[in-house]
Structure 1
Amino acid sequence: MTTTVIDLRSGEHEQQRIILSLQKQVDRDIFEALCNALIISLKNATDSVSALAISLSHLRRWKAFLAGHSQQLSAEEVRGLFAEITFLSELLDQDIFSDNAVDSWLGAERSHQDFIFGNTSVEIKSISGTERSTVRISSEDQLESINEFLFLRIYRISALTESGAARSLNEIISMTNLKLKNAESIDAFDRKLAACGYIPLPQYDLPRFMISEVNTYKIEGDFPRLIRSELPAGVTNISYDLQLENIASYKCDEQLIFKDI
């Protein structure tokens, strides 16, 4: 992190202090985002030892992130991450332990499905309010799972900047962070966000989104899909569009997703 100087100093009452100094004003937005994220991460620290460990871990992640990412998320990536964080927030509302909820989020780790918990896998998709009713399935593994239950959950998301009920990517991530109950969960959440290419830059304060529709489909039986176990030998790296009108009969109560928690 060449734009920031990190200095460890001893303070009063045998306390240690971390002093961060910005060297280049052109990076002020990134520096401010780093400091704000660090403050949030330290909120649940119980003593100076854990606070120091969290701080150094957080700074190492930011250093690695800034070394490997030079571009902002695309509009499609912002919308997709918004949908995944929305589902994570819904998991937390189901009274699942927060560390388990964060652990179940595997989208940042390029898993076949975005969430796996218990014997359930969930693939999250987002479509914009103006898109035709199809979703892109990006591989032959997304709609096949070794778990007993597999669901496809689709959020229709509209950009409604003027609506008071709309939320930006930064806002929904901050709101979800507040639901986490311990420093380990916050640390894991931050790591996974960084792996997605996200840091809380002001650019993600817009657009602000509203979820206008949520549909959940149970993947079973003759659900239309291309899966690895049924492809001819030599066929790989499949992606395809799935028409939602043709899977309407597989729509299910969303609470089926959470029954295995």
Structure 2
Amino acid sequence: MSVAEVPWNRLERPQSGMLNTLSVGEEGVNRWFWIKTKSGEYGLAMRVSKKDENSIEGADLSSTKRLKGLKVGDKGSVYIGVVIGESELSTVFHRLCLDLIDSCSKLREPNETHAILRRRVRSWQRLFESGVNRLSLQQCLGLVSELSFLRDHWLLRQNGNGIHGWLGPLGRSQDFLSENESLAVEVKAYSPDDRTIKISSIQQLESTQDLYLACYPCTLSTEMKGTSLPEIIDTVRDKLSEKQEPFLDELLLAYGYVEEPYYQSMSFVVGEPTFYRVHSKFPRITPSTVSAAITKAQYVIDLEQISVFRCEPGSF
């Protein structure tokens, strides 16, 4: 969709009042509206009655330089939403808005919808403030591997915490954590032609939980014989409940992923993972094994030389 085709171009600035609105879908079916303000900012808002407003906790949304929370009363209703002023971001912003609407499509309680809106806006703000860029190939390989582990192993754990245990996108030291099980898992992608993995920090292989490595052979297919990133995401989504799906979208945003045709053009081949138990004898650099003067380090582990630490997925 080009800038000329986004819905806000059909809205004029309001001559009176605070907003001009354009319903998203049929009136009465949903509460979403495309909006434009007197200052020319544009965005998305949910409409709630005065009665429903009182039931919503913390109705105000946060604001940053590029993305502003908005709350406006008009003709007996209240519009709660988010606006942006930079036209070059309009197509990306429109895709994000459509994802949000879809995430809330089955919800009927304003409180539930507003909770998702607040979380999503915070994710958008982090994304826009850091810059909306496509993921690098290495980032794509890492995301493909983490999603594969999430789908094939983590979500199947009855005592785990499901989608909420995927913490890699949030910058935690390990990609997956279940405090209920005292379990942490770090996921790595590696090239079958170069069986090494990169450890990006001295914290990554140290945990108070039982720690495991899940290493996935993963490559970009030059013949489009594998699976695209959007297709892998869809297979994960199929395993989630309706209430869990919005959390997947928010974690993908935190990772820096915004769906676009570019990702359909990339195909990945993912092999079966190898698992390793990380304990006191495992070769690693950690805060407890190096001088306190060393605060950052990256290093590479040769998978061929740690075969003695291999284990089966059923062992954890």
- Which bracket does the TM-score occupy, shorter chain normalised? 0.7 to 0.9
- TM-score by length of structure 2 reads 0.68
CA–CA separation in structure 2 for the residues paired with 1:159 and 1:122: 24
**Residue identity matched to 1:123:** E
CA–CA separation in structure 1 for the residues paired with 2:168 and 2:158: 19
What's the RMSD between the two structures over aligned residues? 3.3
- TM-score by length of structure 1 reads 0.81
CA–CA separation in structure 2 for the residues paired with 1:14 and 1:157: 44
Aligned residue for 2:211? 150
Q: State whether residues 161 and 206 of structure 1, in contact with CA within 8 Å, keep that contact through their aligned partners in structure 2.
A: no
Q: Which runs of 5+ in 2 are unaligned?
A: 9-19, 36-41, 44-84
Trace 1:40-189 onto structure 2 (pairs within 5 A).
Answer: 40-47=102-109, 50-51=112-113, 54-55=116-117, 57-58=119-120, 61-91=123-153, 93-94=155-156, 96=158, 100-117=161-178, 118-130=181-193, 132-147=194-209, 149-160=210-221, 162=223, 166-183=226-243, 185-189=244-248
Aligned residue for 1:256? 315
Q: Deviations over 1:107-161 (max 9, x none)?
A: 112111111112111011001343x1111111111111101x1101100112225
Moved more, 53-62 or 211-220: 53-62
Provide closer, same or farther for how the CA distance between residues 225 and 205 of structure 1 changes in structure 2, counting only shifts above 3 A.
same
Aligned-pair distance for 1:52?
5.6
Q: Which runs of 5+ in 1 are unaligned?
A: none
CA–CA separation in structure 2 for the residues paired with 1:168 and 1:32: 22
Helix, strand or coil: the match of 2:285?
A: coil
Q: State whether residues 123 and 254 of structure 2, in contact with CA within 8 Å, keep that contact through their aligned partners in structure 1.
A: no
Match of 2:33 among 18, 23, 26: 18
Aligned-pair distance for 1:213?
3.4
Aligned residue for 1:238? 297
Provide closer, same or farther for how the CA distance between residues 47 and 161 of structure 1 changes in structure 2, counting only shifts above 3 A.
farther
Aligned-pair distance for 1:36?
4.5
CA–CA separation in structure 2 for the residues paired with 1:124 and 1:211: 13
**Higher helix content, 1 or 2:** 1
**Residue identity matched to 1:17:** W
Q: Which has the higher contact order (CA 8 A, sep 6+)?
A: 1
Q: State whether residues 214 and 274 of structure 2, in contact with CA within 8 Å, keep that contact through their aligned partners in structure 1.
A: yes
**Residue identity matched to 1:160:** S
Q: State whether residues 195 and 302 of structure 2, in contact with CA within 8 Å, keep that contact through their aligned partners in structure 1.
A: yes
Q: State whether residues 184 and 211 of structure 2, in contact with CA within 8 Å, keep that contact through their aligned partners in structure 1.
A: yes
Provide closer, same or farther for how the CA distance between residues 154 and 50 of structure 1 changes in structure 2, counting only shifts above 3 A.
same
**Residue identity matched to 1:226:** I
Identity of aligned residues (%): 28
Helix, strand or coil: the match of 1:81?
A: helix
CA–CA separation in structure 2 for the residues paired with 1:95 and 1:42: 27
Helix, strand or coil: the match of 2:293?
A: coil
Q: State whether residues 32 and 101 of structure 2, in contact with CA within 8 Å, keep that contact through their aligned partners in structure 1.
A: no
**Residue identity matched to 1:169:** L
CA–CA separation in structure 2 for the residues paired with 1:4 and 1:67: 23
Aligned residue for 1:203? 262
Moved more, 235-244 or 30-39: 30-39
Q: How many residue pairs were aligned? A: 251
Trace 1:211-230 onto structure 2 (pairs within 5 A).
Answer: 211-230=270-289
CA–CA separation in structure 1 for the residues paired with 2:112 and 2:242: 12
Helix, strand or coil: the match of 1:126?
A: strand
Moved more, 211-220 or 230-239: 230-239
